[in-house]
A and B are shown apart, each in its own frame.
Chain A
């Protein structure tokens, strides 16, 4: 039984290869991937200069293609950007689910014979 994390990694690989027809993404394929898969995270897909910049940043070996290893850098960058946001969200959620512990509740409940 694969874990949640393994399923997530699996789906990243599947997404990459869906767009990278020959195992690497060219500029048009990268743009398409960003447009279809990262529409909530990134708003810069429509800006050709931004796509060029991301492409250049990712393309570590300078072959004008993004291979899987270079694609991982994008995932890492987005994860770092999201971390703070999710950390704050999780804190809030755990606060909302927080229940009064039993010993505390007993103390709060007034004794049955109180006036």
Chain B
């Protein structure tokens, strides 16, 4: 579990490359490279933009580490619910 948390943090850091936030272009790249298997529409620029605007709590046009974690939380929740649902079906 500790290594999983480390991956969450270092993935973000590997895209920001020393900067504090992800800009629109880098966010798009990250979503396409990292969320390809769990998300639909990752090749649509407009849906990625919409998602970024949804995350942007302080409306600065960038994605901060906190906002990135909001996305991770949301995706993990959805994955967990899906997993529970499929477990119930199979049992």
Contact = CB atoms under 8 A, between A and B. Distances in A.
Interface of A: 1-13, 15-17, 23, 33, 37-38, 40-41, 68-69, 72-73, 75-76, 78-80, 82-83, 86-87, 90-91
A1 B37 contact: yes
19 contacts: A2-B37, A3-B34, A5-B7, A5-B8, A8-B8, A9-B8, A12-B1, A12-B76, A13-B76, A37-B1, A37-B2, A41-B5, A73-B73, A75-B8, A76-B69, A76-B72, A79-B5, A79-B9, A79-B69
The size class of the interface chain B forms with chain A is 20 to 34
A91 B18 contact: yes
Given A3-B37, A13-B83, A23-B84, A82 B5 contact: yes
Contact of B2 (A10, A16, A41): A41
B84 A9 contact: no
Nearest to A76: B69
Interface in B59-91: 65-66, 69, 72-73, 75-77, 79-80, 83-84
B10 interface: yes
Interface string B1-28: 1111111111111100010000000000
A11 B34 contact: no
Given A11-B4, A16-B80, A91-B18, A6 B35 contact: yes
The DSSP consensus for interface residues of chain A is helix
Given A73-B73, A91-B18, 4 more contacts: A8-B8, A16-B80, A72-B77, A79-B5
B84 A86 contact: no
Given A13-B83, A69-B77, A72-B77, A5 B35 contact: yes
